[in-house]
Structure 1
Amino acid sequence: MFKPFCIFILSLMLTASFSLAQTAKTKPNIVIILADDMGFADIGSFGSEIQTPNIDRLAANGLKMTQFYNAGRCCPSRTALLTGLYPHQAGVGDMVANKGFPAYQGYLNEHCATIAELLKAEAGYTTIVSGKWHVGLQPSALAYNRGFDKSFTMLNNGSSYFNSKPLYNDGSKITFMLNDKEIVRNDTSKYLTQAITDFAIGSLEQIKDQKNPFFLYVAYNAPHWPIQALPQDIAKYRGKYLNGWDALRYARYKKLLAAGIIKKEWALSPKYESVPDWDKLSANEKDKWDTRMAIYAAMIDRMDICIGEILDKLKQIGKDKNTIILFASDNGGSADEVKSLSTVIQKSGTPGSVESIDSYEKPWANVSNTPFKLFKRNTHEGGISTPFIAYFPGVIKAGSTNTQVGHFIDILPTCLDLAGVTYPEQFRGRKLTPVEGNSLAGLFKGKPYKDHDAIYWEHEGSRAIRKGKWKLVAENNTPWELYDMESDRSELNNLAAKYPDKVKQLETTYLAWANKVGVQDWNKIK
């Protein structure tokens, strides 16, 4: 009796081991690629003339979500992505300066956990980040203390693409870190987009023989100002923007319609009020503006080339089949005019070079955000809409499109769901704020996606709620505007006066959320 019993127990043990091995084997690798200050219509698969064949390949063979949202600016969006919480709940309701309130302390707090922390601790993932971090300057909020095994990070909002010399004249420095050590980039360093890519690829090479899955977060700084690019990339686009912004906005709008990204009911928003008439510009002015947009396009082009290098590396190391890739942008195109900012160190050398500090300004940002209005920092659609692409071979149906509303807060629960991890109530002795997002994993497999009851925004007094087809939105110190997003996502027909009860109802819901997450009156905390 003893021998058969031992055989039985051994059989159970082998079965259990095999089952665990199978579970570990089927956990997917996860890659998140984030662009910085790139508008809704800046990649080919979302209406652009800029050459982005690698991103477009992901879209053609994956899923495009056409009503996906970020949090409107770099720090809040990155916080929402990494934690699955509204940025205020994690302590980053604004930027990295401490405003004296828990929701605006300027760095990740103790009541949130990052995707990397949870995947590493709960599912054995190897975790890598390369690129812009920007969710706090305190050691407790840095990548190496927030779950990442390997990290090459820039802690600031931006940097020269050729070195790490200061951008601002207030004495603040640009800080790059390699794991827990500060490093300096100089004029002979790689172009920043390439450096971010090379660290990601090098890290993949180092772990290629590991059996445990990996999480890779690639956070490009491109195309955030200063607009700087490699000369050969700029040359590809010089002269291509001499038809001006009006013609380009309309061309992108038509492409978006033809691709089914937007509905015919959504009109092209009027040109932003301060954008000049292209036909009234001098030849020299047209050349200057053409150059600016050529540099911006070159930055996106190079980012796409680098994404192609990451895709090639995944294939080379045999990790391409069981890897899901998510692509998005942290906010809409930026209206910043750095040439007029007294806080910025001014350089007026060769455009696009290390000796030039410039931005592409409102006219071209208005193009980037086609068909929507306003820009980064605003909670109108131009500031918060992102092209969102999900690619997972053998799981996500190629060429699929989804029009449901999603948000960056959905990314963490999606990653946990894919890895078979349950979001915990506590993590390493810290009580966690309950996750706010919904998993997209079922949607990726063709199943229904649980709609949000409502989604909320607040950034420096700009605020909004989207609930069903309705959106209530206002910039700081302005009255609420009400839009029917089914018929007017361009936000052209303000219905607030027509439906005052709906305004009041949505405002009540918004204020309850604002109170819950710790929103403060921006006019009193600046």
Structure 2
Amino acid sequence: MFVADEGIPKMKRLLLNLCVAVVLSTVAFGYAAAEERPNIVLIMCDDMGFSDIGCYGGEIRTPNIDRLAQEGMRFTQFYNNAKCTTTRASLVTGLYPRRTGSLLNSEMVTIPEVLGQSGYHNVLSGKWHLGSRAPHRPSDRGFDRYYGLLDGCCNFHDPSMPDPDFKGGRVRWFGEDDERMTSFPEGFYTTDAFSDYACEAIQKSVEAEKPFFLHVCYTAPHYPLHAKPEDIAHYRGKYLDGWSNLRQKRYERQLEMGLFDPSWELPPPDPEVGDWESQANQEYMDHLMATYAAMIECMDRGIGQILTTLEDQGVSQNTVVMFLSDNGGCAELPGGLDESRVPGAKEYYTCVGPGWAYAQNTPFRRYKQWVHEGGISTPFIVRWPQRVAENSWCREVGHIIDVLPTCVELVGGEYPSKYGEEDIHPTDGISLLPLFEGKTRTGHEKLCWEWSGNRAIRRGDMKLCWDKKVRKWELYNIVNDRTEMNDLASEHPELVAEMSRQWFDWADETGLRMRTK
């Protein structure tokens, strides 16, 4: 590689060799720096409750997610946006949802758009739910490849089958790289397909010698309740004690593992939750929850498959894996609780209903769509070998808007003020990297939420909530009373007025139209 002595004067030859050495060392340093940049695997499941997985108190078999927790860090106060679409928008943009126009507009950048500028290969496997037409598809927003569902939900066994509870029998958009798929092989199951595609993406990225950002968005355990018969069979009969007993057992496990302060009261059933003893169809209700559990177990197997692929490809040590849910357990009843619909079977759409959602969100109140803790609290786990302490806890407050700035800092990138010709909103999030490393950070001055008339603002120890069914502000000391049992609004009317004004200011800033204040 160096200049040989071919009649070149000695001093000139020495200078030439020095220049070559500098170039080679620069190239070598560049490759080393690229290799040191971590890969990122961001896994999100759909409508899973806070306590469903084993490492957060659940009885469902989740050995691979539990392994992530054992080898990494669990957050106890991590928040989502209470709803599929708004959570997904905030997760990929680092911004609160903007309610003017699309949730993804040209004044925002996404994680793959930013990481792509640093040479990352960006892949989505699973649910998108942020637009199925240009310019809102994954391919329009920075993903090099994608496979999966662009709508909110679909038939797990056959995505080409129409939704029986949607007027006109809507068929959901499912495909790969802007090409729609209209037929699926016998034995197809979306959860397995998402896991398989994710593993292939890892292999291809490693072969191309490119760092990668892989976003895996499972639709499990979102309704329809579809699962494999052998998985359902394992859980049949395990839920015949009912949702209140299940909630109590999960709560006891949470206390044993030190997840929560034992002084917090366990709330009674939400208003929509019926008494288990009065249920005439307990066998059917057990079947619903057994199917839900089976969906989570299958997802966990897929996550195990992804972890194994990282190891087999030799990139596990240099890969940050994050796991979370998009909102709390779901109490919605599309199609109602109709015993003629068989849980798990592809011909039928079924759901768990408010009773099981109440248990899924242990120890909190409310569920998906609400902004009490049951709707917005998510399990959040991060594993990063040799950088994140094993079996550690983070009790600091975090939010999904923090994920984009975290990814940017992880790769040594830069959040842009312009992207293309557009000025970009400054990010609302704050990097979580100091917390990953066991340090502290200056957190958010306030956090705000809204969905379908439910509102909340958290500022320090205090949280102000508006339940659309109760229709009044409730105030809680969320540090002393995370389960929101002791309403302090009447004791602090000035604080209620001040925090509510801040919430409406936030609503104005984000384009949320409110008819009354």
TM-score of the two chains, using structure 2 as the length reference: 0.94
Distance 2:279 2:447 in 1: 42
AA in 2 matched with 1:160: N
The equivalent of 2:112 in structure 1 is 116
Partner of 1:139, secondary structure, is coil
Q: Which residue of 2 aligns with 1:281?
A: 279
Distance across 2 between alignment mates of 1:143 and 1:272: 38
Structure 2 matches for 1:58-457, cutoff 5 A? 58-88=68-98, 93=99, 102=100, 105-120=101-116, 122-164=117-159, 165-167=161-163, 168-186=166-184, 188=186, 190-282=188-280, 285-340=281-336, 348-457=340-449
- Runs of 5+ consecutive residues of structure 1 not aligned to the other structure: 94-101
Q: Is the Cα–Cα contact under 8 Å of residues 162 and 187 in structure 1 kept in the other structure? A: no
In 1, the alpha carbon distance for the partners of 2:360 and 2:183 equals: 30
**Which residue identity is paired with 2:125?**
S
* Identity across the alignment (%): 40
Deviation string 1:307-334 (CA, Å, 9 cap, x unpaired) is: 1011111111111110000000000000
Aligned residue type for 1:86: Y
Match of 1:458 in 2: 450
Query: What code does the residue aligned with 2:262 have?
Result: K
Letter matched to residue 372 of structure 2 = H
Which string of whole-angstrom CA distances, capped at 9 and with x for unpartnered residues, describes residues 29-60 of structure 1? 00001010001001000000000000000001
Paired residue type of 1:309: Q
Query: What is the rounded CA distance, in whole Å, between the counterparts of 1:248 and 1:340 in structure 2?
Result: 22
* 1:496 counterpart (489, 494, 511): 489
- How far residue 82 of structure 1 moved from its aligned partner, in angstroms, is 0.4
**Residues 54 and 522 (structure 1), Cα distance of their counterparts in 2 relative to 1, 3 Å cut:** farther
Residue matched to 2:505: 512
Secondary structure of 2:90's match? Answer: helix
Spell out, residue by residue over 1:428-450, the C-alpha distance to the aligned partner (whole angstroms, 9 max, x if none): 22211111101111221222133
Which residue identity lines up with residue 146 of structure 2 in the other structure?
Answer: S
Cα distance change of structure 1 residues 354 and 125 upon mapping to structure 2, 3 Å threshold? same
1:47 match: 57
Q: Secondary structure at the match of 2:378?
A: strand
2:67 is the alignment partner of 1:57: yes
Higher mean alpha-carbon deviation, 29-38 vs 16-25, is at 16-25
CA, structure 1 residues 137+470, in 2 after alignment: closer, same or farther (shift >3 Å)?
same
Report SS of the residue matched to 1:276.
Answer: coil
Distance 2:417 2:175 in 1: 31
Contact 2:129 2:149 survives alignment (8 Å)? yes
Which deviations, in whole Å up to 9, do the C-alpha atoms of 1:148-188 show, x marking residues without a partner?
A: 11100211111111112221123532001201211124472
8 Å CA contact 1:107, 1:141 repeated in 2: no
Q: Which amino acid aligns with 1:11?
A: A
- Which protein shows a greater Rg? 2
- Equivalent position amino acid for 2:314 in 1: G
Q: CA deviation at 1:508?
A: 2.1
Q: Are 1:10 and 2:20 an aligned pair? A: yes
3-state secondary structure, aligned to 1:32: strand
Equivalents in 1 of 2:444, 2:158: separation in Å?
43
Q: Counterpart of 1:321 in structure 2: which amino acid? A: Q
Distance 2:185 2:274 in 1: 36
What do residues 86-109 of structure 1 show as CA deviations (whole Å, max 9, x unaligned)?
012xxxx4xxxxxxxx2xx24411
For the Cα contact (< 8 Å) 2:96–2:428, is it kept in 1?
Answer: yes
Would the aligned equivalents of 2:97 and 2:103 in 1 still touch at CA under 8 Å? no
Instruction: Report the alpha carbon displacement of residue 137 of structure 1 after superposing the two structures with TM.
Output: 2.9
**1:468-507 pair list within 5 angstroms:** 468-476=460-468, 478-507=471-500
Letter of the 1:225 partner, please give it.
Y
C-alpha distance in 2 between matches for 1:463 and 1:138? 30
Q: 1:358 to 1:446 in 2, by over 3 A?
A: same
Q: Which runs of 4+ in 1 moved over 6 A?
A: none
